[in-house]
Amino acid sequence: MDLTLLLLELFWTFFIIGLFTFGGGYAIMSLIQSQVVFGKAWITEETFIDIVAISQMTPGPVGLNCSTYVGYEVLRAAGYSQLLSVCGSFIASLAIVLPSFLIVLAIARAYAKFHENSLFKGAMSALRPAVVGLIGAAAFVMILRISSADGALRLSLIHENFPDWKSWVLFAAAFVASLRFKADPVVVLLAGAVLGLFLY
């Protein structure tokens, strides 16, 4: 694909993702995956999973980190140089934050006036469960792969994320530490990294 067209399509795709994502962070993952893996087929599912893992371990918002890595990977996969791939990172990162920036800029003054409005409260009440659903969908698609064969949907475990019983133990330990003991996410990540060095 022509470089200009690819960059424009990259910008538009991430602009739309940024425009229709509520809740940020993990809520954005399923939208990015549906566009760049299943919709555009720019990168493979395995590559996307690796990108998500790196995005979670690097500083900054996970959705923005993910878009930065995806923008780079899309141009690299298309055969462009490292420098142009960095341009892809910049385009994707700019596109995903631009809608939020423009919207917040537009409503900053209006919020103080309308935050007690019943319609505004109703809209916020409806958005909260939708955000929870998007976060749940992001977790689901990282554990199970959905495929269609003979008109029937089939679920299969993504073995790249859970290759053996040790990975399930690490998953369970991190889940319990976060949910039951309210462990600091940084501590959970560092503990997982250290345990991974010994276990793998």
- Are 85 and 15 contained in the same domain? yes
Separation of alpha carbons 155 and 145, rounded Å:
6
Question: What domain range is 183 assigned to?
Answer: 165-199
Residue 64 corresponds to which tokens in the numbers above? Answer: 């923005």
Separation of alpha carbons 20 and 32, rounded Å:
11
- Are 179 and 151 contained in the same domain? no
- Are 138 and 187 contained in the same domain? no
Q: What is the pLDDT of residues 138-179, one digit of tens each?
A: 778 778 877 776 777 788 887 777 888 898 899 899 999 998
- Are 98 and 194 contained in the same domain? no
Residue 51, helix vs strand vs coil: helix
- When divided into structural domains, the chain yields a total of 2
- Are 172 and 139 contained in the same domain? no
- Are 83 and 135 contained in the same domain? yes
Separation of alpha carbons 66 and 32, rounded Å:
8
Separation of alpha carbons 72 and 117, rounded Å:
43
- Are 148 and 57 contained in the same domain? yes
* Residue 90 reports pLDDT greater than 90: yes
- Are 109 and 186 contained in the same domain? no
